[in-house]
Amino acid sequence: MPVWDSLKNTVAEEISLREQQGCSVGELRKEFEAAGEDETALRAVYGKLTALKPSADFPYIEPDGYEEIMKDSRFSDSVLMDGDLLYDKMYGGWLGRCIGCNLGKPLERDPFVCGDEKRHGWEHVRKYFEGAGAYPIDGYVPEFSEYTKECGRAISHPICRNSTRENVRFADGDDDIRYSIIGMLLFEKKGYDFRTLDVVTEWTARLTARQICTAEEQAYINFCLTFPSVCTPDYEQFDAKLPEIREKDNPYREYLGARIRVDGYSMCAPNMPVAATKMAYQDAILSHERNGVYSAIYASALISLAYAEKDVRTLVRKAMTAVPARSRLYEAISYAFELVDRYDDFCDIAEAIWRKYEKCSWIHSLNNDCLLTAALLYSQGDFEKGITNAVLGGLDTDCNGATVGCILGVLNGAEKIPEKWKAPLHDTIVTEMCGVGTIAISECAERCFAAVCGRNPSIRTGKGCKND
């Protein structure tokens, strides 16, 4: 049985997914409606849905294999050699991810992420800050706002209270941060050559199923049910079962979950986009397909290339070559360029994104990567401008804030991130992960730096480097 939602809702999600992938679902939609609550009938519909192929007139070409996905990238790896600069950028990436996640976390609930019948989500975000006398956004989310009287929802929920302006003392436990630490641990153990089995093995060792969501939770459970023994399967056994682990009861395969998992190891591939994207692919195919995988590859390329690029527009142009040119995600990224060139006010950009992708879930890859890209371009490389607009746009607020924060943190380096964003976190992450617990943000950067230097001995370390 599905673990994230009811069987009926899971089948409904699969119908939506298959329709977005260009499949004709009209007859199966009728069968679904006729099935009611009958689980046998719902299972029959689900089986037919998973066998569908895109219609001949579907205008997109969306391959699955790494080589096919990357055929237009023209990437080459050239590791950043200066150790002092490398560490500053790596530390900036970790700080940026924690800051952006912390900024967006209190708003990751309705109506801010998904809107309502009155307003799109970005409008609720803006009105919340206005009601707190804190707009334009220039700091963490205030715990109280007059707007809660109108919208009927406060953000002082126990799971996010520690991330609010009045209470923040550390980077709070969150899946966006836990996956970054998983990525760091994977890289320490396996380097640039880890495989998908290594990813899920690390998940099950460090996380409970309830610490993860949607596609990840379903893949986690599918893996445990497929291999219930305490003995880890070998790579051949696992790879044979991977399609079932990825796809069974998992209609969330094109959501943005795989994108939020790439930062930890992508920061360990400084100006090494080939290595970064290969790692992202091995990670993403555990739970995602098509645009869900492209989203992870795109983010990994952005982070890796940010070590060498100074102009954010050039950075995005280079990274998007890792996305198939006739895919829906490439179209979404291109649309972000169009919007940033057309509008002066980011609110107009956010509104256009919400209107174009109104049928997408608030955690889909297409709308969120469009928003992510728009926030990066609009920022012109400014860290604060990037993270605040990424969160202002609504949708998956903490995920977008975290990824934009990481990219711009790497691009700018830790020294250039304003102290008002860094200081409240007290260099601390409370992970709530098995075997990790509480860890310093700087320790994450130091461990990544040491692991990278160990695998790239040509890096010139200097007096300021943390592994001297």
pLDDT tens digits, one per residue of 427-439: 999 999 999 999 9
What's the pLDDT score for residue 388? Answer: 98
pLDDT band per the 50, 70, 90 thresholds, residue 459: confident
> What CATH number does residue 400 fall under?
1.10.4080.10
pLDDT band per the 50, 70, 90 thresholds, residue 330: very high
Number of domains in the chain: 2
CA angle 287, 49, 31 (to 5 degrees): 140
Residues 98 and 71 in one domain: yes
What's the pLDDT score for residue 150? Answer: 84
Q: Which of 209 and 93 is assigned the larger pLDDT?
A: 93
What's the pLDDT score for residue 139? Answer: 97
What's the pLDDT score for residue 468? Answer: 42
- pLDDT tens per residue across span 383-435: 999 999 999 999 999 999 999 999 999 999 999 999 999 999 999 999 999 99
| pTM of the complete model | 0.96
- pLDDT tens per residue across span 245-259: 999 999 999 999 999
Residues 420 and 376 in one domain: yes
What is the three-class DSSP state of 298?
Answer: helix
What's the pLDDT score for residue 98? Answer: 98
Residues 179 and 43 in one domain: no
What's the pLDDT score for residue 152? Answer: 74
Nearest to 390 by CA among 379, 380, 381: 379
pLDDT band per the 50, 70, 90 thresholds, residue 464: very low
> Is 80 exceeded by the pLDDT of residue 448?
yes
> Is 70 exceeded by the pLDDT of residue 1?
no
> Is 70 exceeded by the pLDDT of residue 157?
no
Residues of the domain holding 17: 7-50
> Is 90 exceeded by the pLDDT of residue 353?
yes
Residues 351 and 392 in one domain: yes
CA angle 263, 266, 267 (to 5 degrees): 85
Q: Can you tell me the distance from the alpha carbon of 72 to that of 240, in angstroms, rounded to the nearest whole number?
A: 29
- pLDDT tens per residue across span 209-248: 888 899 999 999 999 999 987 678 999 999 999 999 999 9
Q: Which residues contact 101 (CB under 8 A, 6 or more apart)?
A: 171, 174, 176, 177, 398, 399, 401, 402, 405
What kind and span of H or E run contains 428? strand 428-430
* Residue 159 is assigned to a structural domain of this protein: no
What is the three-class DSSP state of 255?
Answer: strand
**395-to-357, 366, 369, 445, 446 alpha-carbon distances in Å:** 11, 11, 10, 29, 32
Check: CB of residue 170 under 8 Å from CB of residue 442: no
* Residue 58 is assigned to a structural domain of this protein: no
What's the pLDDT score for residue 174? Answer: 87
Phi and psi (nearest 5°) for 144?
-125, 145
Residues 258 and 180 in one domain: yes
* Residue 462 is assigned to a structural domain of this protein: no
Residues 13 and 96 in one domain: no
Q: Can you tell me the distance from the alpha carbon of 396 to that of 411, in angstroms, rounded to the nearest whole number?
A: 23
* Residue 389 is assigned to a structural domain of this protein: yes
**429-to-258, 263, 346, 433 alpha-carbon distances in Å:** 21, 15, 31, 11
Q: What percent of the chain has pLDDT over 90?
A: 87
Residues 296 and 369 in one domain: yes
What's the pLDDT score for residue 205? Answer: 93
* Residue 448 is assigned to a structural domain of this protein: no
Q: What percent of the chain has pLDDT over 70?
A: 97
Phi and psi (nearest 5°) for 428?
-135, 135
Phi and psi (nearest 5°) for 172?
-75, 155
- pLDDT tens per residue across span 354-383: 999 999 999 999 999 999 999 999 999 999
- pLDDT tens per residue across span 251-292: 999 999 999 999 999 999 999 999 999 999 999 999 999 999
Residues 286 and 422 in one domain: yes
Phi and psi (nearest 5°) for 66?
-60, -45
* Residue 151 is assigned to a structural domain of this protein: no
Residues 28 and 102 in one domain: no
